[in-house]
Amino acid sequence: MQAVTHETRPIGGQKPGTSGLRKKTKVFMTPHYVENFIQSTFDAIGGASGKTFVIGGDGRYFNEEAIQVILRMAAANGAERCIVGMGGLLSTPAASNLIRVRGADGGLILSASHNPGGIDEDFGIKYNTANGGPAPESVTQAIFERTQSLTEYHIVETQDLDLGTIGHRTLGGMSVEVVHPVADYAALMSFLFDFDAIRQLFASGFTMSFDAMHAITGPYAHEILEAQLGAPAGTVVNGTPSPDFGGGHPDPNPVWAHELMNRMMGQDAPDFGAASDGDGDRNMIVGRGIYVTPSDSLAVLAANAHLAPGYADGLMGVARSMPTSRAADRVAEKLGIPAFETPTGWKFFGNLLDDGQATLCGEESAGTGSDHVREKDGLWAVLLWLNILAVRGQSVADILHDHWATYGRNYYSRHDYEGVNAGAAEAMIDDLRGRLDSLPGTEFGPLRVIEADDFSYTDPVDGSVAAHQGIRIVLSQGARIVMRLSGTGTVGATLRVYLEKVEEDPTKFDRDPQEALSDVIDAAEAIAGIRAATGRDAPDVRT
């Protein structure tokens, strides 16, 4: 066993996005691809010598093979220790927690989040820093720059390490500790939430269905919900991680989690339903006969977080990504705490959390979390909902209606146009950007444009600026349109159109969101010409 140096040359396109580097699995499987990116990452952070890293992934295809490469490279680059989830498995929030509790220098998380898995689907690697959160733009930019000049990488040539049993190993002078992927995370959840109250809730006959979508959260949900909280066996479905997520799309929304939705809208629906995604950082919440939008979920959690022991002292502030509805802002105003609006990407919450300015954070894309880790956390959101349900003794529908009666309802929907021609989509956004100054005062049906801009964010902690983060168009009647191109896919471009309108009349709280937003949808088409630019008569996905 010895460390060797291999000559290489730069590989194009290794630019990490908001959640690391994502490509098709077969791209990662090409010669030197993983090695180049990992060496560039080590070089960009000042080397791996003497450092400790947490390593794990969501179990998708190529997860185990890539982890073996990373371990051998860490050893060759002088790392002191690597902490790895048994079987190479760690949910993204569990990895964040492990980085923090073990005082690691950083972590490498292998996932493409909610994207499909398999040899013909998607794979990803991202670097998280010592605070447990995704690398900031300064680090991802340094990684990308290094990929463009890399000429060699270092690796130990040896057989694969046994990751199937808990314990300590040695690899080329580096310590490798294989840990149970759930234990530390479950301990943190038991500290934040009133497990006794939730146990009593299940003991009372409360029923639940949790769809793990054949993804990483399955083992966590089996252990916490069923083994520790007493939910009946069978509460967790699709709970065994699969390299291709059972051939499905592990994105917890009404389209891809349709089996859960059908059950929750049926006559014999459980009291509560939830789902999580590929790497365990997203969530979907459903009550009997009612779907909770991620934006509403964030607002309800913010209004009720004090009912859980971990948040009994109240919140320092609430932060949301710019496209997320402004429902949480209304809660923050009543609570007398700050509300922050950040660009899309969980890394933008990191400074606010580290500086104690925010406690809860959320994104419209089904991501919610708090200062307990530095990632969004799907199962955490489910447990907080359970804690609230246990204390309040109401149904999900009753809690939602009480919330809207207090704060009003922010009707909200996201329209995704997937895999569209990138050039045409970018041209549409560029054209719209050039017309923003002329939009205020113009009318589209019953709605009038109040203001329009291209969102730019100045971090209140370090002063860094993130420009061109999406088009915002604010209209009358509490309406808003946001448009941005997403960086989470691997083919073409995805145009996301976010639509919002405030309703204050309680007699109109139960409308279909698409109907309630029809004026806003028409205005978005009239303003941007979406059909012409995308070649689509309708969005591919509505959530």
pLDDT tens readout for residues 497-525: 999 999 999 999 999 999 999 999 999 99
Q: Which of 96, 113, 295, 370 is catalytic?
A: 113
pLDDT for 347 equals 86
For residues 98-107, give the mean pLDDT: 98
- Under 8 Å between Cβ of 417 and 541: no
Neighbour tally for 310: CB within 10 Å: 20
Residue 168 has pLDDT above 60, yes or no: yes
Strands (E) across 199-292 are located at: 208-211, 236-237, 272-276, 283-287, 290-292
Residue 487 has pLDDT above 60, yes or no: no
pLDDT category of residue 154 using cuts at 50, 70 and 90? very high
Residue 1 has pLDDT above 60, yes or no: yes
Average pLDDT, the chain: 96
DSSP string, 420-466: E-HHHHHHHHHHHHHTGGG-TT-EETTEEEEEEEE--EE-TTT--EE
Instruction: Write down the residue that tokens 């999406």 correspond to.
Output: 470
3-state secondary structure of 262: helix
Instruction: Write down the residue that tokens 């760690």 correspond to.
Output: 90
Strands (E) across 95-235 are located at: 106-110, 122-128, 152-157, 167-171, 174-179, 208-211
The closest of 318, 356, 355 to 336, measured between CA atoms, is 318
**Partner residues linked to 415 by β-bridges:** 497, 542
pLDDT for 354 equals 95
For residues 108-121, give the mean pLDDT: 96
Poorest-pLDDT segment among 424-433, 444-453, 491-500, 508-517: 491-500
Poorest-pLDDT segment among 177-181, 471-475, 487-491: 487-491
For residues 428-454, give the mean pLDDT: 97
Residue 446 has pLDDT above 60, yes or no: yes
pLDDT category of residue 486 using cuts at 50, 70 and 90? confident
Active site residue 111: no
- Under 8 Å between Cβ of 141 and 468: no
Both tokens of 495, joined, read: 């145009």
Percent of the chain residues topping a pLDDT of 90:
94
What are 277-311's pLDDT values in tens digits? 999 999 999 999 999 999 999 999 999 999 999 99
What phi-psi label fits residue 205: left (phi over 0), alpha (psi between -120 and 50 degrees) or beta?
left
pLDDT for 491 equals 58
pLDDT category of residue 378 using cuts at 50, 70 and 90? very high
Residue 336 has pLDDT above 80, yes or no: yes
pLDDT for 14 equals 97
Residue 489 has pLDDT above 80, yes or no: no
For residues 49-56, give the mean pLDDT: 98
pLDDT for 543 equals 82
The closest of 469, 372, 474 to 429, measured between CA atoms, is 469
pLDDT category of residue 275 using cuts at 50, 70 and 90? very high
Residue 260 has pLDDT above 60, yes or no: yes
| Distance in angstroms (rounded) separating the CA atoms of residues 134 and 96 | 9
